[in-house]
Amino acid sequence: MLSIHQLKVSIGEKEILKGIDLDIKAGEVHAIMGPNGSGKSTLAQVIAGREEYEVTSGSMTYDGYNLLEMEIDERARAGIFLAFQYPVEIPGVTTAHFLKSTINAIRKGRGQEELTAVELLKLMRAKIQSLGIDEAFLKRALNEGFSGGEKKKNEILQMAVLEPRLCILDETDSGLDIDALRIVADGVNALRNKDRAFVVVTHYQRLLNYIIPDYVHVLYDGRIVQSGGKELALKLEEQGYDWVKETAETA
Amino acid sequence: MTITDTYRIHEDWGSLTNPLRRSLEKQNGVTGTLVDTLHKLAFTQFQNTQLPGKKNEDWKYTSMRELLNTQFSEPVFPGNGYIDLRSGITELDAACIVFVNGHLLLQLSDELPAGVKLITIQEAMKEKSTLRLLEHMIARLGSSMMTPFEALTTSMTTPGVCLSIESDLQLSRPLHFLHFTDSDSASPIYTYPYKLIGIGRNTSVDIVESFVSLNNETVSFTNSVNHIMVESGAHLRHHRLQDENAQSFHINMTRVYQEKDSAYSSIAVELGSKLMRNNIEVLHCGTGITSNLNGLFMAEDRQHTDTQTFIDHAQPRCESHELYKGILDGYARGVFNGKIIVRPDAQKTNAFQQNNTLVLSRNAIMDSKPQLEIFADDVKCSHGATIGQLDENAVFYLRSRGLNRNEASALLQQAFVGEVLDKCTNEAVRNYLNQHVEAHHHE
């Protein structure tokens, strides 16, 4: 589904990703771990198309299409979804209005008919209930004055409503209490199926107790320095990142 | 000797003063009525005002040269071709009062609710209640300083109207003044609508004013004046929509005198015209008054949009809240000048003013000028102005959810001005204003 080859990315003069190789197939869950400043979030945002980052070399394909030539919104309509680490507050737009706009933008992109107001409301209500989120969410301005946990729940709600094929979670667990973490994880797990892939970017192993990954990659200084199964995450939890840094630097 | 010499009208005013000259000629010899007093007062003030020009601080950011140099002429009196005028232009459920080229067309207007009287300024002298309103207004205007354009419209005899609403009424259905300009001919036309409005004690009402061109090619100059008296305890919610065509010039003055414990809430939506200036001046004539002035302006291409507000806190324990938001694109220019005076007697005043403008293009220019003069010591006053661009983080967020750049921009613009429209407490009116605003968002 997603194939990244020798991807190098800079912001300004600074090189952040220094040659990433990653292959993700439908149905898989990949965790990307690593210490602060290793480039995890950059990778997540580059896949979504953030324009501030400059891809200096390498390739990135999605279903065989050259992702680097696709606009941010084209990628979204093709089924790529980024759950933000810091969801943006947009006063003046209710969550319901926002969801309606995005659902129909994505449907239009897929060549599907737009949903009517009644159908939209039904869809949103159903998803909200299945996620155990308060319906009052819909009437509030998008993320405005939301707690950290509410913002992350809102990201998962959007994901559930938009049904993307490649879901990227950028530190979705940061700042969450245990209840919110469970809602987020349940939301993700409910969406897991053989056609959908996940990239879970996280600093801590905690989230991976709830979302069990198929693969774990460790990113350090812009490179993937270790890859393995879910047991790699446990090792990181026990031993921290120092041994990774040492191995990377002696290599 | 020419009329110009007799009445001392500065020739730089060009064609704009033609109707005034004609009206002065007609009046010749017939004087002495109260309406004449109003016109005479206005004309004296008109002669004493400075010509709009760069040297005049009031006109520093807004040039009237093109307006003064354009040759305007009298529009043709509207015939009967306007039967279905309202359909398609407004879906708003309201009692409509229709003007074409400044002329009131009663045959197209709705029956007004009981207690609401609409008559010509001449007729206003014949009835006790409206006579009192007229006297009252003349006394107030005598100690105010009209702007040149305001004095120009006020000094003409036709075709002003007087709207008078009785005391103790709660009107739920809005009154809607629809001002249309229209012409088949290629030559530019002027219209000078004048409204004297009196809201009786403890009455609550929504008034909507819409300015719309029927013909997209017509070059028109609308010089509109509202003189409003809000009596004690009354609440007037005044909504203004200016959506004239891209060739038009539009100047408006809404001058409001508020009496004790009254409230005046205004929302001005400025979308159309090549050159637009909207003035609102509010004078507090008693204690316990609230004034809410809100507005939004959107301009693109080479549009020039200028909002001038003045709140005169002359009495203690009054409050005012101002929120003006604008979006400029292309080569548009925007001006906001918000003046607040807190007089020495006006202790316990609360006055808050905010102006935020979104500038979407590097060629657009915004000048924002808060002007607070405070002469009392026990007051709370604040003002703020921001001029900024779209938040790129928010654009990225929306695009990552499938909206293209234009859709994302439109949604953020909607959200930005939504704060102003949300001030409108009448849902039907809010929807009506919003429909016009949405048509102007750039997709």
B313-346: b (≥16 Cβ within 10 Å) or e: bbbbbbbbbbbbbbbbbeebbbbbbbbbbbbeeb
- Per the CB < 8 A criterion, the answer to whether A200 and A30 are in contact is yes
Helix/strand/coil (H, E, C) string of A190-231? HHCCCCCEEEEEECCCHHHHCCCCCEEEEEECCEEEEEECCH
Integer-rounded Cα Rg, in Å, for chain B is 21
Residue to substitute from A82, A93, A156, A169, interface B, most B β-carbons within 10 A: A93
* Nearest CA-CA partner of B136 in B31, B281, B37: B37
Give me the pLDDT at residue A71, please. 94
Helices then strands, counting H and E runs in chain A, come out as 8, 12
Strand partners, B338: B309, B370
Q: What is the DSSP letter of A178?
A: H
How far apart CA B255 and CA B309 sit, in angstroms, is: 10
Query: What is the structure's pLDDT at B89?
Result: 59
The alpha carbon torsion through A137, A140, A143, A146 (nearest 10 deg) reads -70
pLDDT digits (tens, 9 = 90+) for B82-109: 666 666 556 789 999 999 888 888 888 8
Stretch B321-325: mean pLDDT:
97
Average pLDDT taken over every residue of chain B: 91
Residue whose C-alpha is closest to residue B52's, from B22, B101, B16: B16
Q: Which of A50, A102, A106 sits opposite B396 (nearest CB)?
A: A50
Extract the tokens encoding B242. Answer: 């200016």
Give the C-alpha separation, A208 to A173, whole Å. 10
| Predicted local confidence at residue A178, as pLDDT | 85
- pLDDT value of residue A206: 85
CB proximity list for B415: less than 8 A, separation 6 or greater: A90, A91, A92, A93, A141
For B42-64, give the DSSP string: HHHHHHHSPPPSTTSGGGSS---
> Under an 8 A CB cutoff, do A50 and B415 touch?
no
**Could you give the 3-state DSSP secondary structure of residue B327?**
strand
In the prediction, which pLDDT does B2 show?
A: 42
Q: What is the mean pLDDT of residues B402-418?
A: 92
Does B411 contact A91 at a Cβ distance shorter than 8 Å? no
Q: What are the structure tokens assigned to B20, written together?
A: 């005034």
Q: Highest mean pLDDT: which of A127-131, A153-157, B206-210?
A: B206-210
Q: Answer yes or no: do B407 and A109 touch at CB < 8 A.
A: no
Q: Please, what is the average pLDDT of chain A?
A: 91
For strand B189-191 and strand B161-165, is the pairing parallel, antiparallel, or unpaired? unpaired
3 state DSSP class of B84? coil
Beta bridge partners of A177: none
Contacts of A102 in chain B (CB under 8 A): 398, 401-403
Mean pLDDT computed over B46-59 = 82
Answer yes or no: do B394 and A106 touch at CB < 8 A.
no
Q: Do B402 and A158 make contact, defined as CB atoms within 8 angstroms?
A: no
CA distance B237 to A212: 59
pLDDT value, residue A86: 92
> Which residues lie below 8 Å from residue B163, measured CB to CB, with a gap of 6+?
B97, B116, B117, B118, B175, B195, B196, B197, B198
Q: What is the mean pLDDT of residues B379-402?
A: 95
Q: Which two tokens stand for residue A140?
A: 């509030």
Q: What band does B351 get if pLDDT is binned at 50, 70 and 90?
A: very high
- Show the beta-strand stretches assigned E in A102-146: 141-142
Q: Tell me: the pLDDT tens digits for A70-122? A: 999 999 999 999 999 999 999 888 999 999 999 999 998 888 899 998 999 99
Shortest CA distance from B402: residue in chain A = A73
pLDDT confidence band for A50 (50 / 70 / 90): very high
pLDDT category at B12 given cuts 50, 70, 90 is confident
- Please list every residue in chain B whose beta carbon sits closer than 8 Å to the beta carbon of residue A87: 397
B4 band by pLDDT with thresholds 50, 70 and 90: very low
pLDDT bracket for residue B183 (50, 70, 90): confident
- Answer whether residue B46 shows pLDDT above 50: yes
Interface residue A49 vs chain B (CB under 8 A)? yes
Tell me the C-alpha distance between B387 and B95, whole Å. Answer: 39
When pLDDT is cut at 50, 70 and 90, the band that residue B31 belongs to is low
In A, which residues are within 8 Å of B441 by CB distance?
none
- Is B368 strand, coil or helix? strand
Q: Quick one: which of B297, B230, B237, B228 has its CA closest to B428?
A: B237
Burial class (CB in 10 A: 0-12, 13-18, 19+), A165: middle
pLDDT tens for residues B226-270? 999 999 999 999 999 999 999 999 999 999 999 999 999 999 999
- State percent of chain A over pLDDT 90: 66
Which helix or strand (DSSP H or E) is residue A62 part of? strand A54-62
Contact A92 B401 (CB under 8 A): no
**Cβ proximity of A97 and B407 under 8 Å:** no
Beta bridge mates, B163: B118, B197
Predicted confidence (pLDDT) at residue B8 exceeds the cutoff of 80:
no
Q: Which of A52, A53, A73 to mutate against chain B (most B CBs within 10 Å)?
A: A73
Q: In chain A, what is the greatest distance between 2 CA atoms, to the nearest angstrom?
A: 61
Eight-state DSSP code of residue A139: G
The one-letter code for the residue type at A112 is Q
Q: How far is it, in rounded angstroms, from Cα B49 to Cα B42?
A: 10
Phi and psi based region of residue B288 (left: phi greater than 0; alpha: psi -120 to 50; beta: remaining): left
Is A93 an interface residue toward B (CB < 8 Å)? yes
Q: Which of B397, B407, B415 sits opposite A105 (nearest CB)?
A: B407
**Tokens standing for residue B292:** 């809410």
pLDDT of B3 > 50? The answer is no
Within 8 A of B416 by CB-CB distance, chain A residues are: 92
How many helices (DSSP H) and strands (DSSP E) are in chain B? 10, 20
- pLDDT above 70 covers a percentage of chain B that reads 93
Q: State the smallest CA–CA distance between residue A24 and chain B in angstroms.
A: 20
Mean pLDDT (whole number) for B161-183: 95
How far apart are the C-alpha atoms of A163 and B153, rounded to whole Å?
Answer: 61
Of B402, B416, B418, the CB nearest to A102: B402
Please tell me which of the candidates B393, B403, B405 has its beta carbon nearest to residue A88. Answer: B393
DSSP state of B74: P
DSSP string, B192-242: --EEEEEE-TT-EEEEEEEEEESSTT--EEEEEEEEEEE-TT-EEEEEEEE
Residues forming a β-bridge with A142: A90
Mean pLDDT in residue range B183-207: 93
Q: B404 and A91: CB-CB below 8 Å?
A: no
Q: What's the rounded Cα separation, in Å, for the pair A175 and A195?
A: 30
Confidence of residue B1 (pLDDT cuts 50, 70, 90): very low
Q: What's the pLDDT band for B167 if we cut at 50, 70, 90?
A: very high
Q: Tell me the percentage of chain B whose pLDDT exceeds 90.
A: 72
Answer yes or no: do A105 and B402 touch at CB < 8 A: yes
Contact B326, B333 (CB under 8 A): no
Dihedral of CA atoms B429, B432, B435, B438 in degrees, nearest 10, equals -40
Instruction: State mean pLDDT over A16-41.
Output: 93
Residues of B with CB under 8 A from a CB of A: 391, 393-394, 396-405, 407-408, 411-412, 414-419
CB atoms within 10 A of CB A127: 21
Q: B343 pLDDT exceeds 70?
A: yes
Residues ≥6 apart with Cβ < 8 Å to B28? none
Q: How far, CA to CA in Å, does B436 sit from each of A39, B144, B241?
A: 46, 34, 8
How close does chain B come to A77, measured CA to CA in Å? Answer: 5
- Gap between the Cα atoms of B401 and B386, Å rounded: 28
